Amino acid sequence: MNYVIKKVLNSSVVLVSDHENNEFILLGKGIGYGKKVGESIDQSASNQIFVPVENTKSKQFEELMDDIPIDILTITQEIIVEAQKLLECEFNKSLYLILADHLNFAVQRVRDGIVITNRVFWEIKNYYPKEFKAGLMAIYMFEEKLGITLPEEEAANIAFHFANATMGKQESHDTMKYAKVIGEIINIVIFSLNRNVDRQSAHYMRFVTHIKFFVERYFTNSMLNNQNDLLYNQMKSAYPKEMAVALKIKAFLEQKYGTPLTNEEVTFLVVHIARIMKG
């Protein structure tokens, strides 16, 4: 397919549009050399990288392309392709712009010897293990192809971008915020139970998974809300200690974020807390 050049950003990056005026970035060594605005260009060479761009963000792309080396742009696209395979998902188009900028800045920090601590590294590593694995893959690709060693902490930063960019997520999805709240809830459970919890057990891993989905429902106003309180009352009677912990979580969330939990959500918290107790 042929595209029309709208702007030559540098010798290796051009901004083009199709017949419906959708904008795209073409990357490839030398593809912009000697080219002029208005010329046609064929997006068919195997060494070219093709990135769709939201029209509203083309100016952001143009500004960033002046600062980001072609090798960073190229590795960013390769990382995104491999991460989508690993996570079996499709990312939002905006990820390319965000991740390329982040990786370029990460390289600059490494070269300048600047270390920035990720305050939710542990939470992301443990509560978003698939995304973290994809983040590790990204830093391995960086070292293999560019000879640049990024710290392991960068895997969590990259995982954060992957989690936020997954197609189908609500616009309000904020992985850093979610990870922090997940950690707070789990700490409430562990300290309230006052006992050692096997963090490698199947019950614990299921509990973490439940809390992840629970937190997403909580912040996207999609909580479970069966009006029949029969099961809630049964759990309250059968598991008083676990119910007390669940009500602590309910009070914590309502005080901090202002949204009360439904009885059905409290009921399922009790179920998973009880499983940890047995595990």
Domain shared by 147 and 192, yes or no:
no
Q: Can you give the pLDDT at residue 161?
A: 86
Assess whether 136 and 104 both reside in one domain.
yes
Q: How far is CA 156 from CA 84, 99, 181, in A?
A: 16, 13, 16
Q: State yes or no: pLDDT of 1 exceeds 50.
A: yes
Highest mean pLDDT among 94-98, 121-125, 152-156: 152-156
Is it the case that residue 44 has pLDDT exceeding 80? Answer: no
- The more confidently predicted of residues 12 and 108 is 108
* Cα dist from 194 to 216, 238, 243, whole Å: 27, 20, 15
Tallying the residues shown for the chain, one arrives at 279
- Residues 273, 193 share a domain: yes
- The pLDDT tens digits for 209-253 are 778 878 888 988 878 887 778 888 888 898 899 999 999 999 999
Question: Which pTM value belongs to this model?
Answer: 0.62
The pLDDT, as a whole number, for residue 127 is 81
Q: What is the pLDDT of residues 115-137, one digit of tens each?
A: 666 667 887 888 888 999 999 99
More confident residue, 155 or 97: 155
Least confident of 160-164, 223-227, 267-271, 275-279: 275-279
Query: In the predicted model, what is the mean pLDDT of residues 64-84?
Result: 83
User: Is 117 contained in some domain?
Assistant: yes
Closest CA to 80 of 150, 124, 135, 1: 135
Say whether pLDDT at 266 is over 70.
yes
- The answer on 145 and 113 residing in a single domain is yes
For the segment 180-189, the average pLDDT, to the nearest whole number, is 91
- At 77, the pLDDT band (50, 70, 90 cuts) reads confident
pLDDT of 37 higher than 70: yes
Q: Between 229 and 144, whose confidence is greater?
A: 144
Same domain, yes or no: 190 and 272: yes
Structural domain of 237? 184-278
- Which residue has better confidence, 17 or 57? 17
Give the whole-number percent of the chain exceeding pLDDT 90.
24
Q: Which residue has the higher pLDDT, 100 or 49?
A: 100
In the block, which residue shows the tokens 């601590």?
117
Shared-domain flag, residues 77 and 155 = yes
Q: Is residue 176 included in any domain, yes or no?
A: no
Percent of the chain past pLDDT 70, that is, above it, reads 84
CATH of the domain at 208: 1.10.1790.10
Q: Which of 6, 1, 175, 158 is nearest to 82 (CA)?
A: 158
62 confidence band (pLDDT: 50, 70, 90): low
If you average pLDDT over every residue of the chain, what do you get? 82
The answer to the question of residue 85 being in a domain is: yes
State the pLDDT at residue 20: 81
Q: Are residues 190 and 215 in the same domain?
A: yes
Domain assignment present for residue 175? The answer is: no
Distance between CA 174 and CA 172 in Å, rounded?
6
53 pLDDT more than 70: no
Count how many domains the chain has: 3
CATH number at residue 10: 2.30.24.10
pLDDT band at 275 (very low <50, low <70, confident <90, very high): confident
Statement: residue 172 has pLDDT above 50: no
- Residue 195's region, left for phi above 0, alpha for psi from -120 to 50, else beta, is beta
